[in-house]
Amino acid sequence: MSAVESAIASQATCARPLLADADLQRTLVASGGLPLSAGRFIAQAEALAALLPPGRYAVNLCDDRYEFLVAFCAVILAGQTNLLPASRAPQAIADVLHAYPGSFALGDRTHAAQTRHFELPDLAHLGLTCASDIPVIAGDHVVAIGFTSGSTGTPKANTKTWASVCASSAMNAAVVGSDAVPVNLVATVPPQHMYGLEMSILLPLRSRAALHSGQPFFPADVAVALASTPEPRVLVTTPIHLRALLRDGTALPRLHAIVTATAPLDTALAAQAERTYGAPVIELFGSTETCVIAHRRTVRDEAWQLYSGIELHPQPDGTLVRAAHFAAPTLLQDIVELVPPHRFVLRGRNSDLLEIAGKRASLGDLNRRLLAIAGVEDGVVFALDADGDSVSRVAALVVAPTLSEATILAALRVAVDPVFLPRPLRLVSALPRNGTGKLPRDALQQALRD
């Protein structure tokens, strides 16, 4: 083993405290009622850890973000691993519980129908005094297993060690500014998803950020959540939620920044958000496999700025990602063009490339053209499998209350080769998005059949 490899291995096993900020009096929860301190949080997490049933894994189903945080850390302190299914659907949870012997579901009484369920006790009665010390976690402890969304097929498991999430969280904190400023986070994305976990759970643990305990969804709820949170406020959201906020026109309190991920952010949408809210829009690039690896200010830059220590190696079938805190290199389906220094331009995804009747197109371009049609509020174009991996046609689901299917197809026909016109194209009241705005493939196919 080389000196560099030895150093990396040492870092991977090096223990790190649960909280990066040693101030136990700092505010960790900044929403609703009196602020809750980091010391009280640790006391509650340690008390819950002592109550958890034996086992190796816990499926964290807590809806309240602070309860999720306490349960997430209690599982770690108990020497167990958090399982984060791609879906909250009962069957998806049952599948994960079955796949991991020695697992149990952890949540409030609304989830009691789950087998092997542990009901979360009232946290107000746990850890009544503040902790005086910060627990230390082994760097090689697997704190979570996240599952991909299933948008390109079957969800895949991805292990996350404490050392790896600490490394990526430090880089996220530098981009958001929470390493230097005690920002307050309001997130519209669920903590069970890797992006939500990174930006609303790990960031408060590994920086000076505080969290809002809710998960506001509708624009009015987002405005109320932000108003109940002190400045400086950071809104953690998705392009879908951001578009809904702008369409609704609800005024928001002053924002320090807006952070978005999970789907491509249109430059025009980013510009409109910055004009409307007077705050920079920071777009993050990452995956369940890698966590966040790059960022950009969408209104200014086409190229993405890679995080320090991240290396990209373009391959014929995607891009290989290397980093010192990765257990192994990871292959992504994204096609990139490297731009010095340490930047890249996204050119599409390997799975987005279509070839029908000898002609080529990309799903990304087809989707941009669909969403550009006046009257289309939301929509998606996706490939229909024919024989094996080949594609014979594409389909579309569209939310456009004032348009007909024929009108949408006529508008697409102006800019799209006829072989790539979606057939069928179905008008729907809403796309089958999950909590982070993603569209699992099986949900799209089911929506076509309904």
Q: How many CB atoms lie within 10 A of CB 99?
A: 12
Question: Looking at beta carbons, which pairs linking 8-11 to residues 24 or more positions away fall under 8 Å?
Answer: 8/324, 11/139, 11/163, 11/324, 11/325
Cα–Cα distance measured from residue 330 to residue 11, given in angstroms and rounded to the nearest whole number: 19
Q: List CB contacts of 45: < 8 A, sequence separation 6 or more.
A: 18, 70, 73, 74, 77, 127
Burial class (CB in 10 A: 0-12, 13-18, 19+), 165: buried
Domain CATH number, residue 29: 3.40.50.12780
Cα–Cα distance measured from residue 385 to residue 387, given in angstroms and rounded to the nearest whole number: 6
| pLDDT the model gives residue 441 | 82
Are 269 and 375 found together in one domain?
A: no
Residue 154 placed within a domain = yes
Of 267, 286, 301, at which residue does a domain stop?
Answer: 301
Are 288 and 364 found together in one domain?
A: no
Cα–Cα distance measured from residue 264 to residue 336, given in angstroms and rounded to the nearest whole number: 14
**Locate tokens 């369409």: which residue?**
247
206, 20 in Cβ contact below 8 A?
Answer: yes
**pLDDT tens string for the chain (450 positions)?**
333 334 344 455 689 999 999 999 999 998 766 689 999 999 999 999 999 999 999 999 998 999 999 999 999 999 999 999 877 777 788 888 889 998 999 987 655 555 678 889 989 888 888 999 999 999 999 999 998 865 555 678 899 999 999 999 999 999 999 998 899 999 999 998 899 999 999 999 999 999 999 999 999 999 999 999 999 999 999 998 999 999 999 999 999 999 999 888 989 999 999 999 999 999 999 999 999 999 999 999 999 999 999 999 999 888 999 999 998 999 998 889 999 999 999 987 766 777 676 667 778 888 888 988 999 999 999 888 644 444 568 899 999 999 999 999 999 998 888 888 998 999 999 998 876 677 888 888 888 887
Of 301, 318, 343, at which residue does a domain stop?
Answer: 301
Of 301, 320, 347, at which residue does a domain stop?
Answer: 301
Greatest Cα pair distance, the chain, in angstroms, is 69
Cα–Cα distance measured from residue 12 to residue 311, given in angstroms and rounded to the nearest whole number: 18
| pLDDT the model gives residue 12 | 59
Q: How many CB atoms lie within 10 A of CB 358?
A: 6
Number of domains comprising the chain: 2
Alpha helices in 177-214 (DSSP H): 194-197, 203-206
Residue 169 placed within a domain = yes
Residue 124 placed within a domain = yes
User: Going by DSSP bridges, is the β-strand pair 257-260/281-287 parallel, antiparallel, or unpaired?
Assistant: parallel
Are 362 and 297 found together in one domain?
A: no
Residue type, 167: A
Measured N-to-C along each axis, helices 38-49 and 65-77 cross at an angle, to the nearest 10 degrees, of 60
Residue 337 placed within a domain = no
Are 293 and 365 found together in one domain?
A: no
Asked if the bond preceding 135 is cis, omega within 30° of 0, the reply is no
Cα–Cα distance measured from residue 12 to residue 259, given in angstroms and rounded to the nearest whole number: 29
Residue 308 placed within a domain = no
Measured N-to-C along each axis, helices 239-248 and 219-227 cross at an angle, to the nearest 10 degrees, of 90
| pLDDT the model gives residue 375 | 92
Residue 412 placed within a domain = yes
Cα–Cα distance measured from residue 155 to residue 267, given in angstroms and rounded to the nearest whole number: 30
Q: List CB contacts of 219: < 8 A, sequence separation 6 or more.
A: 244, 245, 248, 250
CA nearest neighbour of 425 among 375, 382, 373: 382
